[in-house]
Amino acid sequence: MPGDWPHLRDIRKTSTFRLTLALGGAATVGVLLLLLIIYSLTERELNDRSDRILRTEIARLAALPEADLPGEIDKSSATSVSGLNHFGLLSPGGRWLAGDMGASPPLVIGHPYERDDGPDVRGPLRILAARTSGGALLMVGRDVRPIVDLRGRMVEILVLSGLFVAPLLLAAGFAVSLGPLRRVDRLQRVALEIGSGRLAARMPIEGRGDELDLFAGTVNRMIGEVERTVDQVKSVTDAIAHDLRTPLTRVRNQLYRASRDPDMAPADVVRIEAAMADLDLVLARFAALLRISELEASGRRQGFATSRIDRLLDAVVELYGPLAEERDVALRWDGAEPVHLYCDEKLIFEAFSNLVDNAIKFAPEGGCVSIRLAKDDGFVAIEVCDNGPGIPMDQLQAVLRRYDRGVASAAVPGSGLGLSVVAAIVHLHHFALELLPAEPGLRARIVAPVEAQQAR
């Protein structure tokens, strides 16, 4: 139904949703890269600054006499203004001599590196070590906690923003996709309606001038052209049928009067009666043709009311039972629970009658025709099934066209209009007519939507 919420899986498949996710994903990756660049540049700048300070301190201490170093180092450790600088002096044999950096030997000599002894010992340090002329190891360290904190904050920002942005992106994707999906859904429904033969239906145009409107406009123009052509063909056919009916009826009437002339020879009367029978057949076909046109053209709802379909089928079986019996065809109908449909009872009876009549005609001698009425939550289906020759798959739709009877029906009398009449009646009710192979035979189904169970 238009206005219903589309399924989540449908939304997920839409181009709009995918495009929104792709754009959102690209924007997120861009933001990540930007943050990474900012962090890298900031980290490098802070490290450069630390390294400059470390080198200056190392140069200052290395310039002092070796004997003064322990005292100067202890003094520097104690008097570091920022509290960020730390010092250490190890003997050439690795023995601790002075400073506040602990007794760990340096990992690298001559290049700054980072060491973290844990929060209980000392924070992360950037350390530069150098060997004095006497072979002792001189170490200067700088607390780089601000850089580490910055890194942690960056990761925190990324995780939190990710947690926030991801659902936001999904929500935006759903929200943006919903409108177009509903429009596509409406277009699809109309397309199905047109496909089922209602050429008067038109695709809805929202007036936004977007690609969906352009598409709908193009399809509407196309369907308009198809409808015009079909109408022209039909009206020519109908005009021929209509215009020929009156003169043919007059010819029949003249023949009828002639047949009653007492001077007419009996042999001539027989010939006239044969001609009248042929004319009656032609007139019946014209009448059926015009009837289909009337049904197709009208939106008549005057005869619509809620009817018991099971009772209608009882009546159809009662009407056609003797015919089936005469042809030695078993007509099976087990009855059904009460099923109500909002329909034109007389027309639906005519449609059922046509299907049963057809099935009896095509069932072989000793064969069977079964009638079923099935009710589901979504639909009501009336099925007439025979075990005759059936219709080849490629001709199943063709037989619904006027005069098309299929190859297996050449030996069976009939105008070829029965199924077309059924199709027109079914179409008028907005029901569906399905012809399916029964292997062997044909299964003709009239399917009414569940809404048809309530009066409209």
Partner 1 sequence: MASILVIEDDAETAREIADELRVHGHTVHAEADGQNGLERALREPFDAITLDRMLPGLDGLAVVARLRAAGIVTPVLMISALGDVDARIDGLRAGGDDYLIKPFAPDEMAMRVEVLLRRRRQLETAAAMLRGGPVEMDLIRREVRVDGDPVRLLHMEFRLLEFLMRNAGEIVTRQIIFERVWGYYFDPGANLINVHIARLRKKIDRPGHASLIATVKGEGYRFDAG
Q: How far apart are CA 382 and CA 311, in angstroms?
A: 13
* Residue carrying structure tokens 């009206």: 235
SS3 142: strand
Using the rule CB under 8 A, is 322 a contact of partner 1? yes
Using the rule CB under 8 A, is 239 a contact of partner 1? no
Q: Are strands 368-375 and 330-333 parallel, antiparallel or unpaired?
A: parallel
Nearer to partner 1, 3 or 247 (CB): 247
For the bound state, the minimum distance from the C-beta of residue 344 to partner 1, rounded and expressed in Å, comes to 8
For the bound state, the minimum distance from the C-beta of residue 385 to partner 1, rounded and expressed in Å, comes to 20
Using the rule CB under 8 A, is 429 a contact of partner 1? no
List, as one string, the DSSP characters of 365-394.
TT-EEEEEEEE-SSEEEEEEEE-SS---GG
Using the rule CB under 8 A, is 277 a contact of partner 1? yes
Using the rule CB under 8 A, is 403 a contact of partner 1? no
* Max intra-chain CA distance, the chain: 162
Interacting residue with partner 1 among 113, 164, 256, 403 (CB under 8 A): 256
Using the rule CB under 8 A, is 238 a contact of partner 1? no
Using the rule CB under 8 A, is 346 a contact of partner 1? yes
Q: How far apart are CA 149 and CA 139, in angstroms?
A: 24
The span of 160-168, 226-234, 273-281, 399-407 binding partner 1 (CB under 8 A) equals 273-281
Query: What does the angle CA 344 – CA 348 – CA 354 come to, to the nearest 5 degrees?
Result: 150
Interacting residue with partner 1 among 245, 311, 340, 427 (CB under 8 A): 245
The span of 4-12, 185-193, 240-248, 437-445 binding partner 1 (CB under 8 A) equals 240-248
Q: Which of residues 192-211 bind partner 1 (CB under 8 A)?
A: none
Interacting residue with partner 1 among 290, 368, 396, 408 (CB under 8 A): 290
Nearest in space to 284 (alpha carbons), one of 332, 244, 228 = 244
Using the rule CB under 8 A, is 397 a contact of partner 1? no
The span of 89-97, 98-106, 117-125, 253-261 binding partner 1 (CB under 8 A) equals 253-261
Using the rule CB under 8 A, is 252 a contact of partner 1? yes
Using the rule CB under 8 A, is 133 a contact of partner 1? no
Residue 224: how many CB atoms within 10 A of its CB? 13
Nearest in space to 380 (alpha carbons), one of 417, 426, 438, 418 = 426
For residue 2, is it left (φ>0), alpha (ψ between -120 and 50) or beta? beta
Amino acid at 11: I
Burial of 298 (0-12, 13-18, 19+ CB in 10 A): exposed
Using the rule CB under 8 A, is 276 a contact of partner 1? yes
Q: Which residues contact partner 1 (rule: CB under 8 A)?
A: 245-246, 248-250, 252-253, 256, 260, 273, 276-277, 284, 287-288, 290-291, 294, 298, 300, 302-303, 318-320, 322-323, 326, 344, 346-347, 349-350, 353, 357, 414, 421
